[in-house]
Chain A
């Protein structure tokens, strides 16, 4: 038998998930000189691309152009896509071990963290990710209801998801109508009565997670004035000292932009987007009907940790902010996969540099790897997954060179296809996705939009003839 990774005995790799980390890993494996590899990618939805499709905001169309690169990867004849095939349901770990030398998990981190405060379960309190999935047409969130008849909305957090949610709530129907936002969300947002949106940051302007382009974008919205309270735009003593001691020009610029927003008069646009700092929610207040009506906030001060980070500590000062709709965006975690060791502390697969680790032996599990958010947690931009996946793939290649791989009893591609056909006869190929893609783009073009998304699994399957 020739060695694994040669023409007559290719390395067979299963990738679970089809977002950026999955495609970057596939790309790096397929480009590796002298390696003959066959990749099967499994996705529980019928269609690929993970958060590029269901996470990136609809008005950030350029960011989605990375899918062209992923489609190029998928065009390699040694790559195969199995859409609508769920790991743990349609195929399980024992199936993959019988058919592949290596298994890579790239399933992301879609579970949101709770705030852990009273009132979080009230009607009108939601995870920001549910709203993001809803407006981006993710089938899991297609039928969620958000009460956009409310006039005041509070978003807890100032990371990029929080900023996206605030911006989508503040864009005008005309601005939204030229994006690939899901049609049901566009229709609902056209009727939105939201007038005031609050972004709530627990630290100060210098520590806010959003980037300068993001914050500039908020200041240039056609239908909403960006407002910063003058007293919150001023740096506290510890922040000022820390900023003066560093040569961080980006943060200085960010503070300048926010202070400029605080200094300018609102132009009287139909909506107001207020960015608050140094406040943490301590309770959601409801009415007799169980509907959230306000959020109780405690003012924070900043204190340096031993390692220098300025972290918030609550003061005695409390205020109530009326809000009929609350979105939390305070962090995300991955979900455990059946049979795969999980690190509860960080909400990731237990791993070292992408090698899945056995919690008992503290040794790596032969043939199992992870990359992306399920490996390192939800951090970075799309491109961050490239170096992350390269690190994991390099571990896979090292292990292959040392013969530390699985020894599947049925490594032939046809055998796996037989199994998938048996367990999920309605699976979609990448060619099926390309047809769906074309339909979406054509349907969108007729309305002057980049695409009109399928948002129900049955519609996707029907369009693909399943």
Chain B
């Protein structure tokens, strides 16, 4: 199963933030959209990093005036992205192994979505549950 099946049932609107915004503004955006991470984009709209609630908490433990810092100071710059053609299982393995909770998805040069670990795990569970339901039906309704 490809991750495009998850993207097909979710909004393609990705909430992005510029690197020169303050953390307070970033936190306000996250609260407004009820999300745990923002994709940081440059002037051309190209993703250049990701900032998550974890990044902010880690920084808050070190810096008293954390909200005055800019997004670029705190964001994760090594951005790993997926493509819609990526396999669900591989993406799940990668996110688990590398402790990613959010994974931006690019279609060629365009940012088209962000997958959360919850969505990926749910999709995998639905997939297994579907197989269980199919087999149970065959056992209960079929001539096994």
* A388 in contact (CB, < 8 A): yes
With a CB–CB cut-off of 8 A, which chain B residues contact A69? 137, 141
Known pairs A352-B10, A383-B130, A386-B130; A309 contacts B138 (CB<8 A): no
* B71 in contact (CB, < 8 A): no
User: Which of under 10, 10 to 19, 20 to 34, or 35 or more describes the interface residues of B?
Assistant: 35 or more
Nearest B residue to A370 via CB reads: B9
With a CB–CB cut-off of 8 A, which chain A residues contact B91? 307-309
Does A307 contact B9, Cβ atoms closer than 8 Å? no
* B117-141 contact mask (Cβ, 8 Å, vs A): 1 or 0: 0000000001101111111111001
Does A383 contact B81, Cβ atoms closer than 8 Å? no
Does A308 contact B93, Cβ atoms closer than 8 Å? yes
Does B126 contact A387, Cβ atoms closer than 8 Å? yes
Question: Which of these binds chain B: A42-50, A58-66, A127-135, A422-430?
Answer: A58-66
* A409 in contact (CB, < 8 A): no
Does B80 contact A384, Cβ atoms closer than 8 Å? no
Known pairs A346-B4, A377-B5, A377-B8; A307 contacts B81 (CB<8 A): yes
* A348 in contact (CB, < 8 A): yes
Does B9 contact A376, Cβ atoms closer than 8 Å? yes
A162 to chain B, nearest CB (A): 16
- Interchain CB contact (< 8 A) of B1 among A61, A248, A308, A379: A379
- Determine chain A's interface SS by DSSP, over half rule: mixed
- A309, A382, A386: residue with the most chain B Cβ atoms closer than 10 Å: A309
* B53-94 contact mask (Cβ, 8 Å, vs A): 1 or 0: 000000000000000000000000000111101110111011
With a CB–CB cut-off of 8 A, which chain B residues contact A62? 138, 142-144
* B34 in contact (CB, < 8 A): no
A68 to chain B, nearest CB (A): 4
* B103 in contact (CB, < 8 A): yes
- Interchain CB contact (< 8 A) of B89 among A248, A305, A346: A248
Interface size on A, residues (CB 8 A): 41
Does B141 contact A65, Cβ atoms closer than 8 Å? yes
Does B7 contact A346, Cβ atoms closer than 8 Å? yes
Q: How far is the CA of A383 from the CA of B127 in the complex (A)?
A: 9
Q: How far is the CA of A362 from the CA of B12 in the complex (A)?
A: 10
A289 to chain B, nearest CB (A): 37
B142 to chain A, nearest CB (A): 4
Does B134 contact A308, Cβ atoms closer than 8 Å? no
Report B's interface with A, CB cutoff 8 A. Answer: 1-2, 4-11, 13, 80-83, 85-87, 89-91, 93-94, 103, 107, 112, 126-127, 129-138, 141-144
A62-B143, A381-B131, A383-B130 known; 6 new pairs, CB 8 Å cut-off, are A62-B142, A307-B81, A346-B7, A383-B137, A386-B130, A387-B130
Would you list the 6 A-B pairs with minimal beta carbon distance, nearest first? A384-B130, A383-B133, A383-B134, A65-B142, A307-B82, A383-B130
